[in-house]
Amino acid sequence: MITSNATGKILLNNIITSGMKNYGVDIMRKVKMINIMSIIAILIIVPFGLVDLIKGDYAIGIFVYVIAAVLIFNLLYLRKSGNYLFPIYCGTSIVAFYYIYALVTGGVNNTGYLWFFTFPLFAMFLLGSKKGTAAALLLLIPPIVFFSIRLDSSTFFAYSMDFKIRFILSYLVVLLFAYLFETLKEKAQRTLSTINDEL
């Protein structure tokens, strides 16, 4: 007899794996990661969007709900098609676009820039060390361009020069550590694969 606790675990596993089976361990890790990230992002940004709308920041609020809708579509597409590459690239791109938007507008209470530091971590995990590094470096280009030009508009948040330098250096440090962790993990996986083949 299956208990309610066991049923809950089966249901949760089905949600985070999109019902996918018979895939390799590495692929399933990425599928679980994109699902968990998407679900957490949806649960976080929907209330943020509501706060923005209540405060009268309609552009940000609507933008947030568009992002949430795309993430929901991404989850449904993954479940229906089993094609994990498109949701990974799509999800990573959407998150990057949202982070840029949060940075240039300041985000809620001017904390939008904080999200940027999470990007190298999950980009490496989902895309691997090479593509993840390329994606993380590409994400640094818009802030550098934004920091380099002076925009007199209430839409864009004005950061101090001290903040700009510290932000870029901090981001590069996070990127370096994320790269090192991922390359070491990939090297360990290759070693284990070689040992298994020999056995």
Per-residue H/E/C for the chain:
CCCHHHHHHHHHHHHHHCCCCCCCHHHHHHHHHHHHHHHHHHHHHHHHHHHHHHHCCHHHHHHHHHHHHHHHHHHHHHHHHCCCHHHHHHHHHHHHHHHHHHHHHCCHHHCHHHHHHHHHHHHHHHHHHHHHHHHHHHHHHHHHHHHHCCCCCCCCCCCCHHHHHHHHHHHHHHHHHHHHHHHHHHHHHHHHHHHHHHC
Tens place of pLDDT for every residue, the chain, 199 residues? 456 667 777 777 777 777 777 677 778 888 888 888 888 888 888 888 888 788 887 877 888 888 888 888 888 888 888 888 888 888 888 888 888 888 888 876 777 788 889 999 888 888 888 999 999 999 999 999 999 887 666 667 888 889 999 999 999 999 999 999 888 888 887 787 777 777 6
